[in-house]
Chains A and B, each alone.
Chain A
Amino acid sequence: MTEAQDTPALLDIRGLKVEFPSRRGVLVAARDVDLSLQAGEILGVVGESGAGKSTIAYAIMGLIEPPGRMAAGEIRLKGERIDGLPREKMRKIRGKRIGMIFQDPLTSLDPLQTVEAQLVETMRTHLPISESEARARAVELLGQVGIPNPAERVKNYPHQFSGGMRQRVVIALAISCEPEVLLADEPTTALDVSIQAQILDLLRKLVRDKGMGMIIITHDMGVIAEVTDRVAVMYRSRMVETGPSEKILTHPDHPYSRSLIAAVPPADHRIERFPLVEYIEKAGDEQAKLDLSTHWLGQARDFGSHEETLLKVEDLTMRFMTRPSLIPSRRRYMTAVDHVSFAIRNGEVFGLVGESGSGKSTVARLICGIHKPLSGRIHFAGEELTAFTSRRAANHLRRQMQMIFQDPYSSLNPRMKVRDIVAEPIRFHKLASSNAQVRRIVSDLLDHVGLGASAALRYPHEFSGGQRQRISIARALATRPRFLICDEPTSALDVSIQAQILNLLKDLQEELGLTMLFISHDLPVIRQMCDRVGVMQHGKLLEVAETESLFTSPRTDYTRHLLKLMPRMKRAA
Chain B
Amino acid sequence: MLFFIARRLAQSILVMLTVALIAFTLFQYVGDPINNMVDQDTTLAERERLRQELGLNDPPPVQFWHFVQRVSHGDFGVSYRLKKPVAGLIAERFPATMELSLISAILALGIGIPMGVYTALHRDRLPARLFMTLSLVGISLPTFLIGIFLILLFGVQLRWLPTFGRGEVVHIGWWSTGLLTKSGLQSLLMPAFTLAVFQMTLIVRLVRAEMLEVLRTDYIKFARARGLKTRAIHFGHALKNTLVPVITIIGLQVGSIIAFAIITESVFQWPGMGLLFIQAISEVDIPVMAAYLLLIALVFVIINLIVDILYFVIDPRLRVNK
Contacts and interface: CB of A to CB of B under 8 A. Distances in A.
Contacts of B217: 107
A524 interface: no
Given A121-B236, A125-B232, A157-B316, A110 B224 contact: no
Nearest to B4: A324
Contact of B221 (A63, A91, A93, A159): A63
Interface of B is mostly: helix
A122 B316 contact: no
A31 interface: no
B234 to A, nearest CB: 12
A159 B228 contact: no
Contact of A108 (B3, B6, B219, B241): B219
B237 A159 contact: no
Nearest to A95: B227
Contacts of A102: 218, 221-222, 225
A101 B219 CA distance: 11
A170 B222 contact: yes
A34 interface: no
B246 to A, nearest CB: 13
A96 interface: yes
B314 interface: yes
Nearest to A61: B225
Given A102-B218, A122-B228, A159-B317, A112 B3 contact: no
Given A63-B221, A107-B218, A125-B232, A112 B227 contact: no
Contacts of B314: 112
Contact of A104 (B3, B218, B226): B218
A95 B221 contact: no
A110 B227 contact: no
Nearest to B10: A326
A121 B225 contact: no
Interface string B217-256: 1110111111111101000110011001000000000000
A125 B241 contact: no
A125 B316 CA distance: 25
B315 A112 contact: yes
Contacts of A323: 320
Given A112-B241, A159-B316, A159-B317, A94 B229 contact: no
Contact of A157 (B6, B226, B230, B317): B317
A207 interface: no
A325 B314 CA distance: 22
A63 B224 contact: yes
A94 B223 CA distance: 10
A93 B224 CA distance: 11
Given A102-B218, A125-B232, A111 B225 contact: no
Of B218, B227, B240, most A-chain CB atoms within 10 Å: B227
B157 interface: no
Given A102-B221, A157-B316, A174 B241 contact: no
Given A95-B227, A111-B315, A112-B315, A326 B219 contact: no
B42 interface: no
A63 B222 CA distance: 11
A99 B226 CA distance: 7
A326 B3 contact: yes
27 contacts: A61-B224, A63-B225, A91-B227, A93-B227, A94-B224, A94-B225, A95-B225, A95-B228, A99-B225, A103-B218, A104-B218, A107-B219, A108-B218, A108-B222, A110-B219, A111-B219, A111-B315, A111-B316, A121-B232, A125-B227, A125-B229, A157-B316, A159-B316, A160-B321, A323-B320, A324-B3, A325-B3
Q: Which 6 A-B pairs have the closest CB atoms?
A: A95-B227, A94-B227, A95-B226, A107-B218, A100-B225, A157-B316
Given A113-B237, A157-B316, 17 more contacts: A63-B221, A63-B225, A91-B229, A91-B230, A93-B227, A102-B218, A104-B218, A109-B219, A109-B222, A110-B219, A112-B241, A125-B232, A157-B317, A159-B316, A174-B225, A323-B320, A326-B6
Interface of B: 3, 6, 217-219, 221-230, 232, 236-237, 240-241, 244, 314-317, 320-321
